[in-house]
Amino acid sequence: MKKILSTLLLALLASYSYGQYETVKKTVRPSIPGSFIVDLGVNSAIGEPPKWNQGFWGSRTVNFYYQYSFRIAKSNFSFNPGLGLSLERWKFTNGATLYDTLELVSFPNGAVSPNQVEQYNLVSAGSIYPKNANKSMLVANYFEIPVEFRFDTNPEDPGRSFNVSMGGRVGFLYDAFTKVKYRDLGEDIKVKNKMNHGLSTIRYGVYSRVGVGGFNLFFYYNLSDMFEKEKGPSGKDFNSFTTGISISGF
């Protein structure tokens, strides 16, 4: 009898312990709806001004998005709004940097010529910083709202489905700066000039993705000008596009 009671007691303890383990396991691994997306891409300017000599890989974008999917009826289509960040870099290979032309004009009394306007031109970094300043970059970070329509060949299992997406994004500039690197007394020095540099505070564009499951190729075209009107280099209006890969987790 004692052996039977001992066996039952051990069985109950084992069952309780297993139940506790299952509860903890389910608690620490919650199911989160929607999907997280990371874009890795390279940037290219369209109709860029003189001296806009950019590096290929140095001019890059990394996007982080969260999207929630609303399936349209029982079709293969879904509507996917989201939120995220777009971190954009432009590397200049000719040692140029953006600088306000108003600050380059000096008068004994500190006055400004009436012919001068706020405009951020590309000038030699060595004319502002030490002469050996030859590494320069423009950084622009945006808070973005992407909205897209997506087609899946198998919407019941999007992780293994061929998919095509078409959508648009609106971005709000929240941080921008130029970064110049040079050597002084044997040390590498980086200088950040933190300001908008005439960049448009709101941008908008269209994009497309195509791929299988969580791996896609994407293309983004910026419909808006990169700089506010007549504030960019040479007062020229121009825009950009980005191509790359997307990785998502469902």
pLDDT at residue 107, rounded to an integer? 46
| Average pLDDT of the residues in 54-65 | 94
For the chain, give the percent of residues with pLDDT over 70: 81
Residue 48 has pLDDT above 60, yes or no: yes
| Average pLDDT of the residues in 227-242 | 92
Residue 104 has pLDDT above 80, yes or no: no
Tell me the C-alpha distance between 228 and 233, whole Å.
11
Q: What is the pTM of this model?
A: 0.81
| Average pLDDT of the residues in 192-197 | 92
Q: Which phi and psi (to 5°) does residue 243 adopt?
A: -125, 150
Residue 131 has pLDDT above 90, yes or no: no
pLDDT at residue 24, rounded to an integer? 42
Range in 82-91, 117-126, 152-161 the model is least confident about: 117-126
Query: Higher confidence at residue 159 or residue 246?
Result: 246
Q: For 179-191, write each residue's pLDDT tens digit.
A: 999 887 778 888 9
For the chain, give the percent of residues with pLDDT over 90: 59
